[in-house]
Structure 1
């Protein structure tokens, strides 16, 4: 090798090494925590491989996983204990600062979800929530649930909130979950009940969480502007009774509310008014979905049992063979809904994006909200992630 190119090569190697070190810094907190539980990981791995043929669903949701997150320089600099999420949401709501969160699932068709937080800059989500999947009740120990593994990898860099469903969970499940000392929880009942589960209602889980963790844990609960589409006891129109249950969840100690999907602003605005009338003072975030295709919308419709109004759905269906036009339609629709709810001036300042692990349409909505001056950079804090 000639002498001339050697310095260039060395500089290239040094640059690669530096990037490698930066990546390791991003992951150091997570891997320290993971190594402390390595003996559990080995045991579970052996057990799951042994029963993979008969319980493939359990195996696919409980094996140790390698997270796929890329954090901003600001998140790395502020790696450590994050601010209490309930206080962040309450303070932003109090001062009227628009903010948002994102919801993801742990995987898409078996592939672990990747999130590059740099793509959200200059304004990062205030938090990230991770959906609970039905088979998770079978996973032992509960800490090996995929979403909880991902929560552990996230929580030093951004407030991370795992969902927990009442479906088929025993009191021991709850005790084991609270022993993991997560800072945040979205308590949901889910669409199905089982005779073996300890709690029938979300408020019972909320009360258990407060007994176990006191005020240290932030607890969020769901709100249903159009009633429960899948509920066994409450019909879609039984909204007043549902509001009574919602107030009970708040009175048991919930910090804030995230609404279920709603495709038109009128039910959301009426819901916010009724929330105030029944004496609920907790902040409310509005749940928004931005499909990237008509097929993606249909998938969400099947899961949630919530449909767009007939005329709106017919308009969206025109683009069933053109994903780009369908995404543009859903982006504009989401922007219109958000604007209408904000213009109603009912104290709502937070949006939760149900991403379905499709981030591009969310980026489009966020970009337009910045251009409109709605989404702005706030003063630096541990959750801002600014470089």
Structure 2
């Protein structure tokens, strides 16, 4: 089946800071591969308790200095006083970064209850308000179509999202999901709550099914049974897995685009191949390279 072009779409990509020289080489190959697609922005994650603070900052700074991309740095509330977080934000502003993804963050010990730093921001809404006092950042926040795993109810979770928007956030990016109806129902509830900022769907192309099962268990995302069957028997066949992954993700995104969604955030896992192929299928093309006279 030949896929017809969908019309103009806007994409953004998420990366994580590399831990080793080999991972850094892989990241920058990914960055260079995706850069010509001219994404709206690219974000760089930040570990629990600031465990990747320096690596995140170095990655963001290099994106500013060496690429044409618009980087967004993740910041969290975990294990840091307000003054420390504010100083990191100022460093980003001074480095030319104008976009922050503001998150509460995960507990430092996986599986343990979240406990705010006694002198820190207690939740993402407080962090958003604090960042706005530091500088006039563009701020993105997280949204959960299938409810944050710690939220006692959908209503409480939605109220938390509204507090983040009221504090100054200009965009919400969803946790990844695989059922488009879940996202559409969530949008209905978001609009009913008076939230009018863009709620951008977060999409993760699945190449490693076992890995996604772990990710989904942690964030509460439901995985279609058909997906398990599609990847069955492909553990030792990476090339076929890539084909299947691109087909599944393309079908999901085209379904969203057919309903009028034009903005997409791709969780790349620092790999370019699937995201580049997916963007190509959706009609996105690299910017033409100028030819010297």
Cα RMSD, aligned residues only: 2.5
Q: How does 1:150-189 map to 2 (within 5 A)?
A: 150-156=59-65, 157-180=68-91, 181=93, 182-189=97-104
TM-score for the superposition, normalised by structure 2: 0.82
Q: Give how far 1:307 is off.
A: 4.4
How many angstroms apart in 2 are the aligned matches of 1:203 and 1:385?
A: 41
Larger radius of gyration: 1
Q: Give how far 1:103 is off.
A: 0.5
3-state SS, counterpart of residue 264 of structure 2: strand
Within the candidate set 211, 224, 230, 1:315 is matched to 230
3-state SS, counterpart of residue 127 of structure 2: helix
Partner deviation per Cα, 1:12-51 (whole Å, 9 max, x = no partner)? xxxxxxxxxxxxxxxxxxxxxxxxxxxxxxxxxxxxxxxx
Report whether the alignment pairs 1:253 with 2:168.
yes
Higher RCO (CA-CA < 8 Å; seq separation 6+):
2
Structure 2 stretches lacking a partner, 5+ long? 1-6, 108-113
Within the candidate set 231, 240, 254, 1:339 is matched to 254
How many angstroms apart in 2 are the aligned matches of 1:128 and 1:363?
A: 14
How many angstroms apart in 2 are the aligned matches of 1:259 and 1:252?
A: 18
Q: How does 1:285-324 map to 2 (within 5 A)?
A: 285-298=200-213, 300-301=215-216, 304=219, 306-324=221-239
How many angstroms apart in 2 are the aligned matches of 1:287 and 1:245?
A: 19
Within the candidate set 139, 146, 156, 1:226 is matched to 146
Structure 1 stretches lacking a partner, 5+ long? 1-95, 378-383
Within the candidate set 104, 115, 135, 1:194 is matched to 115
Q: Give how far 1:385 is off.
A: 8.5
Residues 1:326 and 1:165: Cα distance change in structure 2 (over 3 Å): same
Query: Would you tell me which structure has more helix in proportion to its own residues?
Result: 1
Would you say how many aligned residue pairs link Structure 1 and Structure 2? Answer: 268
Contact 2:89 2:131 (8 Å CA) reproduced: yes
TM-score for the superposition, normalised by structure 1: 0.63
How many angstroms apart in 2 are the aligned matches of 1:331 and 1:133?
A: 28
